[in-house]
Amino acid sequence: MKLCELFGKGRTVFSCEVFPPKKSDPVDSIYKTLDGLKDIRPDFISVTFGAGGSQVNQTTREIAALIENQYHIPAMAHLTCVAAGREDVDRLLADLKADGVENVLALRGDVNPDYPPKTDFKYAGELVRYIRERENFGVSAACYPEGHLESPDLVSDIRHLKEKVDAGAQHLVSQLFFDNEDFFRFLERARIAGINVPIEAGIMPVLSARSIQRMVSMCGASLPGKLTRILARYGDHPEALREAGIAYAIDQISDLIAGGVEGIHLYTMNNPDVARQIAGSISSIRKV
């Protein structure tokens, strides 16, 4: 099933993101994550792609195949073109197809200083077009409610996003954000620009002050006052921060759904307990 077919059915799509286990973790730790997520029955699960290294690339494919064939949940494999040239893409798509994985998130990626970048595709839009012209995959792409860090302004950001959709992206997943007004304004800009594919809102529950500061510095998301106060008050109290972070994410999601968003993409950080708690709290909201 192509993921874009999930939308427009009168309920909010709910999806989860997982990442391949770190080298220091046992590979089968992913089973614990997926076992925990399967009870939530997300509409699909996406698997991130490391910015280089064949082992990571294979792991993304293997986990996507596991989700699709063993857990019987649609999988979306992320694929970055800084890490993959034409031959890598061809091989990876052939392997995914053989494994029954039908959906990819086509990305440019960020250069990993440990691996020289591949240069066959300069931007994600070129990868999107390449895949759509050759293969029968569902192709999704990334979008940025507050603009991508490298974009000089929001206008050029939307213009390039429109090009990516015109190149064949059928569904967009957003970068994390903490202020829903940023997402609603982005949605309006996108629709005015004629971007009419389903757009999922990316939500990351705040569970640790350190990791959220790292994420924010990497992706440029801004922290609204309400969240800054939570971090200041509970930052040194992990259990309290966890409760407040989950409550914040649930509040964000219920407001987004009330505002008519088509899908919620939860960055699970491989923490199925948190994902389950959030999914359980929005199960009726999603169906309205």
Q: Which span (1-9, 21-29, 158-166, 232-240) binds ligand FAD, by CB under 6 A?
A: 158-166
Size of the site for ligand FAD (CB under 6 A): 24
Q: How far is the CB of 143 from ligand FAD (least distance, A)?
A: 7
Of 12, 15, 57, 80, which one interacts with ligand FAD (CB under 6 A)? Answer: 80
Footprint of ligand FAD on 107-146 (CB under 6 A):
107-110, 123-125, 142
Q: Is 276 in the site for ligand FAD (CB under 6 A)?
A: no
Secondary structure of residue 216 in the 3-state scheme: helix
**By the 8 A CB rule, do 138 and 3 touch?**
yes
Residues 66, 142, 170, 254: what is their CA dihedral angle, to the nearest 10 degrees?
80
Catalytic-residue membership of 5: no
User: d(Cα 145, Cα 184) in Å, to the nearest integer?
Assistant: 8
Task: Pick the closest to residue 67 from 26, 10, 19 (CA basis).
Answer: 19
Residue 208: CB minimum distance to ligand FAD, A:
20
User: Which residue in 38, 71, 151, 224 binds ligand FAD (CB under 6 A)?
Assistant: 151
Distance (Å, whole) CA 281 – CA 285: 8
Q: Hey, which residues does 44 pair with through a beta bridge?
A: 15
Residue 160 sits in the site that holds ligand FAD (CB under 6 A):
yes
Answer yes or no whether residue 51 interacts with ligand FAD by CB under 6 A: yes
State which residue, 173 or 266, has the beta carbon closest to ligand FAD: 173
**Neighbour-count burial of 95, counting CB atoms closer than 10 A to its CB (0-12 exposed, 13-18 middle, 19+ buried):** middle
Query: Which range, of 159-167, 185-193, 245-253, 269-277, touches ligand FAD by CB under 6 A?
Result: 159-167
- SS3 (DSSP) at 198: coil
Instruction: Candidates 68, 157, 179, 262: give the one binding ligand FAD (CB under 6 A).
Output: 157
Q: How far, in Å, CA of 29 to CA of 272, rounded?
A: 12
C-beta of 200 vs 241, nearer to ligand FAD: 200
2, 38, 132, 148: residue in contact with ligand FAD (rule CB under 6 A): 148
Dist CA 67 CA 62 (whole Å)? 9
Pick between residue 148 and residue 286 the one whose CB is nearest to ligand FAD. 148
Residues 6 or more apart whose Cβ sits within 8 Å of residue 132: 139, 167, 168
Residue 202 interacts with ligand FAD (CB under 6 A): yes or no = yes
Name the active-site residue from 5, 17, 188, 262. 17
Question: Which of residues 19 and 234 has its CB atom nearest to ligand FAD in the complex?
Answer: 19
131, 167 contact by CB (below 8 A)? no
d(CA 99, CA 58): 12
Name the strand (E) or helix (H) holding 281.
helix 272-281
Question: Site residues (CB under 6 A) for ligand FAD?
Answer: 48-49, 51, 78, 80, 105, 107-110, 123-125, 142, 148, 150-151, 157, 160, 163-164, 173, 175, 202
Positions marked active-site: 17
